[in-house]
Structure 1
Amino acid sequence: MTDTHRVPLVLIGGLATEAARLLADRFHAADRHTAVVHHDLRDIAAGFVSRHLRCGPREALTTVALAHGCASCTLRDDLLPLLRELAGRPEVNRIVVRLDEALEPEPICRALGEVLVDGRPVSTDVEVEAVVTAIDVATWLGDATGEDTMAERGCDGDDRTVAQVALAQAEFADILAVSGDATDAWSAAKTGAVLERIAPLAAILELSAIDPLALSGFVSGEAYRGRPRDPHAALLRGAPPLHTDCGVTIVPFASARPFHPHRLHDALEILLDGVVRTRGRAWVAGRPDITLWIESAGGGLGIGHAGGWLDAPEGPAWAEVSPERRTLASLRWHPVFGDRAQELVIVADAADPATITEALEHALLTDEEIAERGTVITGRHKTG
């Protein structure tokens, strides 16, 4: 199947489950050739999920046993083959997947291109037309800045915070479908200010204004359209507003110096108070070959492994990475540190930007510490 024959795929998700359901229903009603799939995870504790499929006038409800006790594995093992099967039906010209509220769209999109089904990825059969996240303006900001876990919201065994899920769903969206009424005009304005800064590539539309038959007209040319994000790509994409609005502002932080591990630990505490979101790359003295990915959401903080630096002995070759990453590395290349650099983007609300910047700068190694730590930078420098 060639690219020109791939079936358009729309993912609809978000914590606003009723709004997501209404939007999926609208897609089904607008075109009888649209197949709509939904996996209901409410019975996951009992060891199964329910799959609802509507295709034309027919509906089917199927019980899917959990694979390895893992909901994401079950969805991967059931959803991906189903998408291929639906794409092969002559009566289907679009597929809509309504995601459970606990699901983030980006891992599913990554699986479309990376997980092989019968020897090839499902992305050879379907093409993501848009990722739509339903936002309830009455509750979204509280969810995105709170400390509740998904387990506390009824998702047994899920230790992610609600904020992590809410922000991940919004950031990766091509369209933010907003509905509901905020408690007051200030809350509505603040919610809009946050969304504009964490999802600058997304179109923010009233749910009622979204026309399923003209969906592509709402999606920006810069939108992700299901393409997974590269942790080494530019962090400020889509020209988000840099001015302060309703107390919400973007605080960029960059430095070529390494972080002191203990002082960084102390500095990260500041990202949990009055900060909506933090995303970015970091490197720590003593671990010069590893790119750390730092991400905060409301009251939750995560630090992960984002691979090696280009300058690291076991890092990727220049030819193996994207042109964007090569360009960014060339622009910031340091004669000693190579492409290693601290790059964080913080969306602050109640926090003081100057205090955030000061705390992160204090966590950097000083000239004296760099001179003392002759082994901070080890390994070869690769320039091509």
Structure 2
Amino acid sequence: MSGDQARLPVAIVGGLHADARRAAVEEILRTVPGSVALHHDLTSAVDSAVHRTVRDADGLLGSGNAPLVNDCACCALREDLVPELLRLAEAGRHRLAVVELWDSVEPQGMAPVIAAAGAPLALTGVATAVDPALVLPYLSNSDDLADAGLAAAPTDQRTVADTFARQLEYPTVIALVEGSLCGEDGEVADETDHALLAQLTPGARKIRVAGGALGAALLAGFDVAAAAARVHPACALLPQECDEHGASTFVWRRERPFHPQRLYTALEDLTCAAARSRGRFWLADRPDTLLSWDAAGGALCVESAGPWLAALPDAAWEMVPAERRLAASVDWHPEHGDRCQYLTFISPGLDRDGLSALLDSCLLTDDEYTAGRDRWRQLPHAFDDLLDPVT
């Protein structure tokens, strides 16, 4: 085959809620003629292999096992995924290949793998399937994936909450699957559940699986570079202020840096104040380092995301992605450049006033601020254990 005939569209459907994910995939197979689903079950990795199945609307087409790579089931998935997709493309019988990810596998980890393969594969859509009634319970679940039997590798230290949050925030499509469609008799999503999901995923299309439009949405195209920029701490497309049906998004933006010790002391209260919070910030004792804030389920991850653009020499700017330069230029400060505090908190029952007061109290005071950067660097290095752990 050649030209368009040789091109195999590939869509990813993921999600920790396995019943919702399966319902979404079954709907695609039913409504898109010639579609096929490829799934790697990492549950069987205890037997030193990952079980692979290929099916269409009529049932199972084939199965096999992919051996573990360095005792890592997720690594085995990466090694086996593209060859299997290429085999499906070569067969020339399919209009769409749906990669149904296993529970805790994040779309952001697999999308670049497929996109990098190039022709004849074409990544055309990424979706996470969700039952809106389960969004808050999942975001509140602080269990380690390993304890829940969902770890994708021996070194997997993720939690249910932070994994679910990233699964929501990366794709351009959210497939809505109510409990009855999942074969469950659980709670029915209410207005607060839907409002919370909408605020967590402002840039994604929400498509009810029962409506039959999911397959077409996943053939529309997907930009891997844009998706990566959308979730990168330096230029993330963060949610806007909102208060609807009992779910709230609070956006806190300031210019001056945090006092490291006061912020460190407040971390527990700030982390537990919302179901989900994320953003970027800077510390007075580390003025050149862009720090990422990523919290869900009562657990916080603070990491260095490299230097602020203002800390780079002019010659280095050409090596910075255009998306980041654009994001920095929007609120460029005459003194601090792109250095800023930009944090968002999303939750039902959010205490905006309390959060704002607590965050403001962690900033440098007027006297501390006017003392200048040499004095700032002498402040207590309270985040050293988090940012520079001894290994």
Task: Compute the TM-score of the two structures, normalised by the length of structure 2.
Answer: 0.82
In structure 1, stretches of 5+ residues that fail to align are 114-120, 379-384
Between the two proteins, the alignment pairs up a number of residues equal to 365
Q: Is the 8 A contact 1:176 1:202 kept in 2?
A: no
Match of 1:146 among 141, 148, 167: 141
- In the TM superposition, 1:23-62 aligns within 5 A as 23-31=24-32, 33-54=34-55, 59-62=61-64
2-structure distance, mates of 1:10, 1:188: 29
Tell me if the contact between 1:235 and 1:280 (Cα under 8 Å) persists in the aligned partners: no
- Does 2:17 match 1:16? yes
Q: Deviations over 1:298-330 (max 9, x none)?
A: 222111222221122479833333434323323
Cα 1:222–1:250, aligned 2, differ >3 Å: closer, same or farther?
farther
Match of 1:73 in 2: 75
Question: How far off is 1:3 after superposition?
Answer: 9.4
Cα–Cα, structure 1 residues 184 and 13, in superposed 2: closer, same or farther, change >3 Å? closer
Inter-partner Cα distance in structure 2 for 1:313 and 1:226:
23
Task: Give distance in 1, aligned partners of 2:224 and 2:199.
Answer: 16
Residue in structure 2 matched with residue 172 of structure 1 by the alignment: 170
Question: Which residue in 2 is equivalent to 1:382?
Answer: none
Change (3 A) 1:19 1:335: closer
Structure 2: gaps (5+ residues): 378-391
Contact 1:202 1:223 in 2 (8 A): no
**Number of the residue aligned with 1:381:** none
The aligned amino acid for 2:306 is: G
1:231 matched to 2:225? The reply is no
Among all aligned residue pairs of Structure 1 and Structure 2, give the percentage whose two residues are the same amino acid: 32
Q: How does 1:206-225 map to 2 (within 5 A)?
A: 206-211=208-213, 214-215=216-217
Please point out which of 107, 110, 113 is paired with 1:108. 110
Q: Structure 1 residues 83, 366: CA separation in 2 closer, same or farther (over 3 Å shift)?
A: farther
Q: 1:314 to 1:145 in 2, by over 3 A?
A: farther
Match of 2:150 in 1: 155
| Cα RMSD for the two superposed structures | 3.2
Residue range with higher mean Cα deviation, 326-335 or 346-355: 326-335
Q: Deviations over 1:3-38 (max 9, x none)?
A: 996432111121221232233233334455323110
**C-alpha distance in 2, partners of 1:72/1:3?**
31
Return the offset for 1:364.
1.4
Question: Which residue of structure 2 aligns with residue 275 of structure 1?
Answer: 274
**CA separation of 1:225/1:326 partners in 2, compared to 1, >3 Å: closer, same or farther?**
closer
Return the letter of the residue paired with 1:263. R
Q: Which has the higher helix share?
A: 2
Q: Taking structure 1 as reference, are residues 159 and 175 closer, same or farther at Cα in structure 2, changes over 3 Å only?
A: same
Secondary structure of 1:317's counterpart equals helix
